[in-house]
Amino acid sequence: MNRQLRSFAVLVILAAPAAFAADVKETVHVVITGGKHAGTYDGSTDRGGCSAGMTGKGSFGNQYSLPKENDPKVLNSVQIIVPDAKAAANGTHNFFLNVAFGRIFKRDAEYKVETEKKSGTGTITVHDKGSTATISFDAKTADGVHLVGTVDCKSVTRAQ
C-alpha cells in the first residue's frame, strides 16, 4: 500500500504543473523573408488574445506579447490593428502590423506595416468566429521585408 501511495504522490507532483498551467490564449506563426530576422517563428502565450472594438467601433486587433522575453532572437510581439473588421473578413489593405524582437523598450528589430501612412503594403484577413478568431496576413514593409503569418486566438475580448 505504501508503494502505491508513493507512486500516486509522484504522479500527482509530476502532473500538477500541467493541471495548473494557464490556458493558451493565442498562438502565432510568422515567416519573415529578408531583414535581420529572416526565418520562421512560432509562439504561444497565456495572455492577450484578440479584441473587437477596442481601438474604435468595428475594429479588430491583437497583441501577442512576451514582456519578460529579452532574447533578441525571439519573436516577442505581434501587434495588429484593423480599423474595419467587416471589410477584413474578405481581406483588407487597411491595417497596422508590427512584428518585433528584443526588449520592449530596446528593440533589436521591428518590422512595421502601416498602410494608412503608406508605409508598406499587404492584406490582412480576419475570421471572427465570436469567441475565437484567426487572423492571417501577407505584408511587405517599406524596406521590402516580407511578413506572412497567422494568429490563432482562443479568445476574443469585446468592447461593450
Given this model, what pLDDT does residue 105 score?
Answer: 77
**How far is residue 31's CA from residue 15's CA, in Å, rounded to a whole number?**
34
Residue 14 lies in a domain: no
Task: Domain count for the chain, please give it.
Answer: 1
Given this model, what pLDDT does residue 44 score?
Answer: 93
Cell numbers describing residue 16: 500538477
Domain region containing 128: 22-158
**How far is residue 154's CA from residue 133's CA, in Å, rounded to a whole number?**
7
Residue 100 lies in a domain: yes
Residue 7 lies in a domain: no
Residue 107 lies in a domain: yes
Element spanning 116, H or E = none
* Non-local CB neighbours of 76 within 8 Å, separated by 6+ positions: 43, 65, 66, 67, 69, 100, 101, 102, 104
Q: Checking phi first, is residue 81 left (phi over 0); if not, alpha (psi -120 to 50) or beta?
A: beta
Given CA atoms 114, 67, 41, 71 in this order, what sign does their dihedral have? positive
Residue 150 lies in a domain: yes
Q: Which residue has the cell 484577413?
A: 125
Burial 27-42 (b: 16+ CB within 10 A, else e): bbbbebeebebeeebe
Per-residue pLDDT of the chain (160 residues), as tens digits, is 444 434 333 333 434 344 445 688 899 999 999 999 999 999 999 887 899 999 999 999 999 998 888 889 999 999 999 999 999 999 999 999 999 998 877 788 899 999 999 999 999 999 999 999 999 999 999 999 999 999 999 999 998 6
* Non-local CB neighbours of 8 within 8 Å, separated by 6+ positions: none
Q: Which residue has the cell 490563432?
A: 152
**How far is residue 111's CA from residue 94's CA, in Å, rounded to a whole number?**
17
Residue 16 lies in a domain: no
Residue 27 lies in a domain: yes
Q: What is the CATH number of the domain that holds 105?
A: 2.40.128
Residue 85 lies in a domain: yes
Cell numbers describing residue 48: 492577450
Output the pTM of the full model.
Answer: 0.84
